[in-house]
Amino acid sequence: MGRAGRRGVVQLDGRLPPPQAAIANSQQAGAHEHELVVSLSDFDIGKSKLRLDAFLAARLPAASRARLQASIKEGLVVVNGRPQPKASYGVRPGDVVACSVLPPPPLEAAPEALPLDIVYEDEHLIVINKAADMVMHPSPGHYSGTLVNALLHHCQLPAMQLRSDSAAPLSLEGAAAAAAAGRAGGSVGGGGSDDGSSEAQLKERSASPQAAGSAPPGAQHPAAAGGAEASQLSSTDVDDGEEDEEGGGFTLIPSAAGSGGGDATIRPGIVHRLDKGTTGLLVVAKTDAAHLSLAQQFKDRTVSRTYVAITLGVPRPPEGRVATNVGRDLRDRKKMAAFAYASARGRTAASNYKLLEVLAGGGAALVQWRLETGRTHQIRVHAKHIGHPLFADDTYSSLAAVGSIVGAGKPPRSAAAQAAARALGRPALHAKTLGFVHPATGQRLQFDSDLPPDLTAAAEALRAPQFVM
């Protein structure tokens, strides 16, 4: 099959080959898991070049780009019937790409003595005030320094390793059970032990004063659900492999090796997520029963959460509800975007905001957000959607926008605003409150947290006299 005519069209005898015939030709090199046809819609507007690895990353977003590049190097990718070993190879509209994806390597999580701000702890769960720049769990590119690493150390659990074809534990209890069974050095399995040894190990770490007296007499512990129920809670469709907080975010069963699905992850106890740069409250499950109960509460949208953010500009009206779909940005797969509510793209998302304080003479604002749903980057996407992206959010805004909006075109103000954004160095977002029903006692728990020092400093900088003159 040769290339002829104008660039961007693969021709056979002067005609564009039917996709079915081209796919059949590509299969001559061997069976592959994925057969994809490049189209004009795969190219960014105004760009005529598209790398092979970038094309695959966009079409197979659940597989990491590094794993796709390794698959190309290993000869598992065929373009128009010929193996293509170069990730930088430029694909064209009409090209047929057949590929298989290498299974991800085993992920490991070792206990690390990292500081944790524990707000509440008992034998069932832990509430943590997460610091900025802490990733939730190990993943490609983040193999240490995560919340899971800190939790393993806090609960005196050994290092864990997860193969791509193994089931991960739901909870910290499950991780302890795997260790007690002598499997912590190999693959780890889910569920707690029947003899209670793993739960006893966790109870040694649950002597927090906040936990004392929290369980009313006669409180009933829910029966631990089996694997079928866990799978049912975890099967909710998730946008392109990212984690939501309503069902899909609780999937701990990695896809089969080589399927091109999401890379396996070690995240025992993680019920919901905060972005790396977001500070504030989150709950971690120690037992499988607690995990399933909390997961159901997130799915049923009975967990209450409020966030505080600094926005560029002042939202109008001062209170409102934002309802859109949230899904992958069509131009940048690392970002999320807002789409028409209840449309075919993304999933429905609703946020409520309330103006708390006008900052920088109207160039910024302190805003409270209350979530009805839990989509990836939801507040950040909705803030941008209403024209007021978060302060210092380089993903959905820019430093130049800080200078022009907060600085109001005045060089001294622009410089001061940009300095405050650089000092913060992360999206101005904090998970301030968290409320849920305790899985064992049935008591409604409500937690509040102060704004962290860096966010407080940013707000104070935007209250400076130079911004109101």
**Catalytic machinery residues:** 275
CA gap 130, 247 in Å, rounded: 22
CA gap 46, 50 in Å, rounded: 11
Token pair recorded at residue 33: 């898991």
What does the longest C-alpha to C-alpha distance in the chain come to?
Answer: 82
Query: In the block, which residue shows the tokens 């796919």?
Result: 23
Identity at 237, one-letter amino acid code: D
* Residue 1, CA distances (Å) to 15, 79, 388 in order: 11, 11, 51
The beta strand positions in 329-428, using DSSP E, are 336-339, 347-359, 364-371
Helix (H) or strand (E) holding 79: strand 77-79
Is the CB of residue 448 less than 8 Å from the CB of residue 307?
no
Is the CB of residue 388 less than 8 Å from the CB of residue 314?
yes
CA gap 125, 455 in Å, rounded: 28
Is the CB of residue 308 less than 8 Å from the CB of residue 379?
no
Identity at 416, one-letter amino acid code: A
- Preceding amide of 169 cis, omega within 30: no
